[in-house]
Structure 1
Amino acid sequence: MKKVLAKLTVGFGAVAMLAACGGNNDNGNDVNNGNNNNGETSSGDGDANVVLYSTMQSDGERGAFEEIVADFESENPGITIEANFPGGSYEDQLRVMMAADDLPDLFDTHGWSQLRYGDYTEDLADMDWVENLDPAMEQIIMDDEGKVYTYPLNQAQDGITYNVAILEEHGIEPPTTWDDFVAALETIRDEGDGTVTPLWIGGGDNWTLAQMVDQMLTPAFITDDNNDYSEELLDGSFDWSNYEWLAEEILALKENDLLNQDVLTAQFAQATEIMANNQAAFMFIVGSIGPDATEMNPDTQVGLLPTPAVHEGDDPSWIGGERFTFSVAENSEVKDEAKQFIEFLAQEENAQKMAEATNLSSALVNVEADTYYAEYYDRYSDLEIEPYFDRVYLPSGMWDVMANTTAELLAGGTPEQAANEMESEYHRLRDQ
């Protein structure tokens, strides 16, 4: 993990470079702005209302979490946890609150515990759960001074999901390089009867396009020693003509009938049914796609492989870091109660429950979670977890740029245009 640590140390030491990972749909509860707790305050002597915001969206995730909240409130009748799930509008709401320095008492840093929210969070280093934190997470949520910025309910290890039966039918071994991945897509296209899409992307929700790009930028420009542009990306000197390679590869997927024809209108919500009905071989989607597809069709098995290597001699890698988290707002008036709830969440039974509900590994080494993808994480346990590219190397706002430029590329643009737009927006946003 030394290589990753070195990169993150450089990234966190640089001027904060923040990326956006948002949407614009609102499917959450009614919200209560900030941590004013309706005028209530507490230091443990009376009733306390702890306002909480989370990015959880799926029914399974929220259901498990709400059960834990109910158990906590039952054991602590003087504390109420007011949970809010704003869905796609989460980031926009938190930005407004952050600008007013009025963040919720507990909030999800969704991958930005240090770079975006670091100045607004209470140090959690003195909490009991910290001694069980997975060392792989220390470099992500803890700084060189020892400040712990957030409690991670789980840790993300993103790669590519695949339909096990389809690969077996065509005699395809899970690919480890981009070239092998493309060859696998071509085999499915050539040997199939046209009912199976080699690579399915719900680009109507264009964050799915950004997800693919963000994952592939890491093996393209970071992990290979001979193609490591991390310093140039951090200091602003990166030559964005290098990006044309990735844009060309993405465009070739469409031109060679390796993507779903409706890539620009297909919706993310369709993914589970498409995978369950064996209509797609690969997706750049992890999370609940596996268990949800198997629940819909028990004969469907969804596998997981790390993000393929791009350069010869390089290894594939997991792309990840913190997924769902809770930080305590530095100016919260109910810090003790907020920390008390976090300690409750970190209890082994509750931590296991959340890891299994989200189908991700726990961030605590004392927790064994039986998750859907456990066998694949074990199979590739020797691979490093690289941080999400945009969280370290790109300025705030580039997530939307990746989504939009890729959509424009697939709608008739050129790799050169995509690279030029990425370059101009990268410099514009760095200068803000």
Structure 2
Amino acid sequence: MRKKWLSMSCLVLALATSLTACGSKDTGDSSSNSSEGKSEKKVTLTVSTNVVGEQATVLQTIAEQFMKDNPNIKVDFSAPGKDYENMMKVKMASKDMPDVFATHGWSKNRYGEYLADLSGETWAADLDASIKPSVTDDSGKLYVLPMDQDKSGPVYNIDLLKEYGLDVPKTYDEFLAAAEVIKTKSNGEVAAIHIGGADAWPIGQWFDFMATPLLISAEQNSGQALLDGTFDWTNFDQLPQMFKDMQDKGYLNKDVLTAKYSDSAKAFAEGKAVFGFYGPYFIEEAKKINANLNAGLMPIPSIQAGDIPTFAGGEKTTWGVWKDSKNIEAAKKFVAYYAQAENISAVAKSNQLPPGLGNVKIDAGDLTAYYEQYAETPVLPFFDRVYLPNGMWDVLCKNGQDILAGGINAREYSENMKKEFDRLSATK
């Protein structure tokens, strides 16, 4: 009987101990689960970029690694290509932006009001001095992480310049003299400059490059007049006339209005064109066709007396954070991940451009030597990003096509520019 009573007592004690332990565990787990629930809360970031091809693949690969390292954050990555700008216009109008997005050269002038200030981020201290003016304002606001920085100018076939006994032109007059030599010595078989005019944007690229030495970079310039709306558009006539003169003198490819960008790359790769007014990426595009291509990068030739050559530059690959994001801390964490040296290096290398952070070395293949050679050459913002209202890019391109087709003359080109400039400025 005593043995039975002891057994019952032990059973009751065991149950009590078990219940106490369970109660203690529940209390502890409640606190722990609350904490874990907070730390394990799943967050989905919408991330969108304008870049395509290999460069987009690099960005997405880093995003996938970020998700592995941060399993509580899912990244909805989007690279819509040519539809990006129109998509972003719709999102700006509806005030429903991606958590993280690329600004494709317009962090301050177009997207500034939608972007959070990133100046307090740890990586901000490493911002390269040359890109800083493009992505910060006078108040110190930092709009985006610049993973690389554009440093664009014409590219040229080194072997052909040597064959024709030419040096890299520093002024536009020297460029025209070189173009004449190329036309003469090649019997018109080699284009001094190849432009894929059917795609329109390569024409806009030429105008965007050359407007700076004509109107901006010289000591006496029209920059302020363009900004305050007092610019005399007859002073723009020279630019479309320069463009038309190149065609009339036989310096452009004969099929300029039907050729595409891919045709420019092919001609450049095959030694049928000497200059390409595109940018460093053009060399890499051509090397896919001819891996042995020997090509170099040069600054944009000066036009005005006493001026010096310059590069066009500013932002290239960027991430900005929507200031009204519901996941702003996760978004900043995502951007900071790309600011790691190995990720900055991978992005910059994919574009063959200098990195946007100064603590990362340039790894741009053959182009590295040119960035180092021209380290002191001024880099000015792309003309349209500063001096033209949103929407003018298409005007540059379309009127360039029209003047080559003989539909308008230089004066009419400038008149069309003024009309659209005034209209678009009024709708800002």
TM-score (norm 1): 0.87
Q: 1:268 aligns with which of 238, 249, 261?
A: 261
The count of corresponding residues between Structure 1 and Structure 2 is 389
Given the alignment, which residue of 341, 344, 347 partners 2:334?
341
Displacement of 1:264: 1.5
Question: Cα offset for 1:298?
Answer: 2.5
Partner of residue 218, structure 2: 224
- Tell me how far 1:294 sits from its aligned partner: 2.5
Residues 314 and 337 from structure 1, CA distance in 2 versus in 1: closer, same or farther, beyond 3 angstroms? same
Partner of 2:319: 326
Point out where structure 2 has 5 or more consecutive residues left out of the alignment. 1-36
TM-fit CA distance, 1:250: 0.4
Instruction: Give the corresponding residue for 1:53.
Output: 48
**Structure 1 residue 253 and structure 2 residue 246: aligned?**
yes
Over residues 210-242 of structure 1, what are the superposed CA-to-partner deviations in whole Å (9 max), with x where a residue is unaligned? 11101111110111113x111111111111111
Q: Find the aligned partners of 2:359 and 2:123 in 1 and give their Cα distance.
A: 10
Q: 1:57 to 1:46 in 2, by over 3 A?
A: same
Cα distance in 1 between the residues matched to 2:396 and 2:124: 35
Matched-pair contact (CA < 8 Å) for 2:126–2:359: yes
User: Offset of 1:273 from its aligned partner?
Assistant: 2.1
Q: Does 1:369 align with 2:362?
A: yes
8 Å Cα contact 1:44-1:337 kept in structure 2: no
1:55-89: per-residue Cα shift (whole Å, max 9, x none)? 1112x212222221221111111112211111111
The structure that has the greater radius of gyration is: 2
Write the distance in 2 (CA, Å) between the matches of 1:49 and 1:216.
44
Please give the secondary structure, in 2, of the residue aligned with 1:354: helix
Q: CA–CA distance in 1 between the matches of 2:158 and 2:292?
A: 10
Asked if the contact 2:151–2:313 (Cα under 8 Å) also holds between the matched residues in 1, the reply is yes
1:57, 1:87 within 8 Å by CA — same for their partners in 2?
yes
Give the equivalent residue in structure 2 for 1:128: 122
Give structure 1 regions of 4+ aligned residues with deviation exceeding 3 angstroms: 42-45
| 1:205 is aligned to 2:199 | yes
C-alpha distance in 1, partners of 2:149/2:72?
31
Partner of 2:131, secondary structure, is helix
Whether the 8 Å contact between 2:188 and 2:250 is mirrored in structure 1 is no
Instruction: State the partner residue of 1:191.
Output: 185
Q: Secondary structure at the match of 1:204?
A: helix
For 1:193 and 1:251, the matched residues in 2 are separated by: 21
Alignment CA distance shift 1:43-1:384 (3 Å): farther
Partner of 2:418: 423
SS in 2 for 1:309: coil
Aligned equivalent of 1:384: 378
AA of the residue aligned to 2:82? G
Q: In the alignment, is residue 89 of structure 1 matched against residue 83 of structure 2? A: yes
Residue 110 of structure 1, CA deviation:
0.8
SS in 1 for 2:307: coil
Q: Which of 225, 235, 240 matches 2:228?
A: 235
Q: Give the partner amino acid of 1:350.
A: N
Instruction: State the distance in 2 between where 1:47 and 1:270 align.
Output: 47
Select the structure that is richer in helix.
2
CA contact (8 A) 2:280 2:297 kept: no
RMSD: 1.4
Call closer, same or farther: CA 1:258–1:358 in 2, change over 3 Å: same
- Distance verdict in 2 for CA 1:317–1:282, change over 3 Å: same
Structure 1 counterpart of 2:173, one-letter code: D
- Identity in percent: 35
Q: Please tell me the residue identity of whatever aligns with 1:307.
A: I
| 1:333-374 CA-partner distances (Å, limit 9, x unpaired) | 111111111111111111101110111110111101310421
Cα distance in 1, alignment partners of residues 287 and 325 from structure 2: 42
State whether structure 2 residue 64 is matched by structure 1 residue 70.
yes
Contact 1:395 1:429 in 2 (8 A): yes
Query: 2 CA distance for matches of 1:338 and 1:152?
Result: 15
Q: 1:158 aligns with which of 136, 145, 152?
A: 152
